[in-house]
């Protein structure tokens, strides 16, 4: 696909929380992403993107999810949940689908229903988030300010402020009940853009059999009613 209307992409993101474009040339993907908001640099080198490849735990970048999970399935998570304001959008461009199917799970939260019911495991600000060298902070899983909502969840960078071994499982079970689950099967050139404040995602099984799998990830910022 040589030309994609960024306004249409943004419209679909606002409506559905995600958009998958079947094929985009590498240069075009960068153009689309720049129109969605400010690109957040990746790491200390101020690089605009990061290439994600399967790592064994021992060889993975320090403090990354792969350093804990290795090539196994990832837990559902918000990208950079340890930041007070996580990136608004995440873009993943498939540079190589790899030797074996390794899909991405996507969970789209029903924010209208969450706002209406405000389930206790999600609404109480009893979680401590930490990571990435940033100061820890308290937050609820669903953050509400001025009628706007943002979902934040990552079992690897959050813990309960009081001892309750069942709390994490209860929170994830409750959160899953407010989401629609989709499976993204990758093909080279596919571009997935998701609303990181509404959608949770995770790499599925198969990374151990797909060493050449490579997704290019951009993090995109935004300013909205949450006061960020």
Please give the C-alpha separations between residue 135 and each of 82, 93, 98, 122, 125, in angstroms, as whole numbers: 9, 31, 37, 22, 17
Strands 191-195 and 89-96, by their bridges, are antiparallel
Q: Dump pLDDT digits (tens) for 118-137.
A: 999 999 988 999 998 889 99
At residue 35, the pLDDT reads 87
At residue 191, the pLDDT reads 95
Residues of the chain with pLDDT under 50: 1
At residue 30, the pLDDT reads 83
Burial code (b: 16+ CB inside 10 Å, e: under 16) for 177-193 equals ebbeeeebebeebbbbb
At residue 25, the pLDDT reads 82
At residue 108, the pLDDT reads 98
The DSSP output letter for 172 is: H
Burial code (b: 16+ CB inside 10 Å, e: under 16) for 123-133 equals beebbebeeee
All domains of the chain in start order, with CATH: 6-220 (3.60.130.10)
pTM: 0.93
Q: Dump pLDDT digits (tens) for 152-184.
A: 999 999 998 777 888 999 999 999 999 999 999
At residue 1, the pLDDT reads 44
At residue 164, the pLDDT reads 80
At residue 7, the pLDDT reads 84
How many other CB atoms are there within 10 angstroms of residue 39's CB atom? 19
């Amino acid at each position: 696909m040589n030309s994609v209307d960024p306004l249409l992409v943004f419209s679909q993101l606002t409506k559905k929380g995600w958009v998958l474009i079947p094929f985009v040339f590498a240069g075009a993907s960068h153009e689309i992403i720049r129109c969605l908001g400010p690109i957040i640099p990746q790491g200390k080198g101020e690089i605009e993107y990061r290439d994600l490849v399967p790592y064994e735990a021992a060889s993975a970048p320090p403090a990354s999810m792969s350093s804990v999970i290795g090539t196994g399935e990832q837990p559902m998570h918000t990208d950079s949940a340890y930041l007070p304001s996580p990136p608004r959008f995440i873009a993943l461009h498939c540079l190589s689908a790899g030797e074996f199917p390794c899909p991405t799970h996507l969970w789209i939260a029903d924010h209208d229903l969450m706002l209406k019911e405000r389930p206790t495991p999600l609404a109480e600000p009893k979680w401590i988030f930490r990571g990435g060298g940033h100061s820890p902070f308290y937050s609820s899983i669903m953050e509400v300010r001025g009628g706007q909502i943002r979902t934040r969840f990552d079992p690897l960078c959050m813990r309960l402020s009081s001892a309750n071994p069942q709390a994490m499982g209860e929170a994830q079970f409750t959160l899953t009940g407010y989401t629609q689950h989709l499976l993204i099967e990758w093909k080279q050139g596919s571009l997935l853009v998701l609303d990181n404040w509404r959608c949770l995602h995770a790499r599925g099984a198969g990374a151990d059999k797909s060493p050449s799998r490579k997704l290019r990830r951009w993090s995109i910022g935004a300013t909205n009613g949450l006061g960020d």
